[in-house]
Amino acid sequence: MHAAEGFTRYLDKSQGVLDTAELDALFLNVADRFFGFPFVTYGNALQRGKMDETFISTTVCNGWWSHYVDEDYAQVDPVFSLLPYRSSPFAWIESLETSAKRGRQCLRESEEAGLTNGVSLSLRGPGQFYAVSFAGRPDKATKPEMAALNAISNLYHAQRQELSDGEPDGALTPAELRYLGWIAQGKTISETAEICGVADISVSKRLSESYQKLGENGRVRTVLKLVGLGVLAPDWFRPWDQ
């Protein structure tokens, strides 16, 4: 892979990014293109076990997370257990040394789901404990690659926090508007996720956040409100004056 090139690419392209959705897309693209990791999960490690609050963005398929929740793996996940004690990136296989039977089962099944050669690292700040994980490449990451991923991830986290602080409360993000636009066209959550190249859980989470911002309790009322406000203009909507 191309660790140094990936870091330079991210550093250059991230300087002009204006919103979190664009930054997320850049981060995911660099992880896949330059490091060979198609599956990336970024989230709040303090919310362990609360899937709807933990994962801010993920490209891992919703089927794995459904199984993860059903098996209650958050309570035994050896990667989660190791994160608080590591200040640098580590390969998931390292967590097997101290994991119990269920923890080993969790990792084994994650590999069967395509999450191979996983790497995780913690992203710390005042009152914060976030984490990012990479998986899905056929071989193990090298030390230079892990060092570059560490630098990129920490920069991404700091930039994302800054952008999030600058977004006005109650304002819909570009990602939320994009997902709602497809929902307004009659697409399901799974279809929207496939079109946008993200996991189902990412779309579901963003939609839930948009409902709360607009004071609505579901996608139909939310879409109708946005159509009425002129924010969305789906093909089926034809104002009387047209």
> What SS3 class is residue 194?
helix
Residue ranges of domains in the chain: 3-166, 174-228
pLDDT value, residue 75: 85
Which class is 174-228 in CATH?
A: mainly alpha
How far apart, in Å, do the first and last CA atoms of the chain sit? Answer: 54
Helix (H) or strand (E) holding 175: helix 174-184
Contact yes or no for 183/207 (Cβ under 8 A): yes
Global pTM reads: 0.72
Q: What is the DSSP string of 79-138?
A: HHHHGGG-SS-EEGGGGGGG--HHHHHHHHHHHHTT--S-EEEEEEETTEEEEEEEE--S
- Contacts for 135 with CB less than 8 Å, ≥ 6 apart: 37, 39, 40, 60, 92, 110, 114, 115, 116, 117, 118, 119
- Residue 126 CA to residue 115 CA, distance in Å, equals 31
Tokens representing residue 183 in the block = 């929902």
Q: For the domain covering 3-166, report its CATH number.
A: 3.30.450.80
Contact yes or no for 58/79 (Cβ under 8 A): no
pLDDT value, residue 143: 93
pLDDT value, residue 113: 93
> Along the chain (242 residues), what's the average pLDDT of each consecutive run of 10 residues?
88 87 90 96 71 69 82 88 88 87 94 96 80 96 95 93 70 79 88 81 83 82 80 67 42
Tens digit of each residue's pLDDT (9 = 90 or more) over 179-209 = 888 888 888 988 888 888 777 877 888 888 8
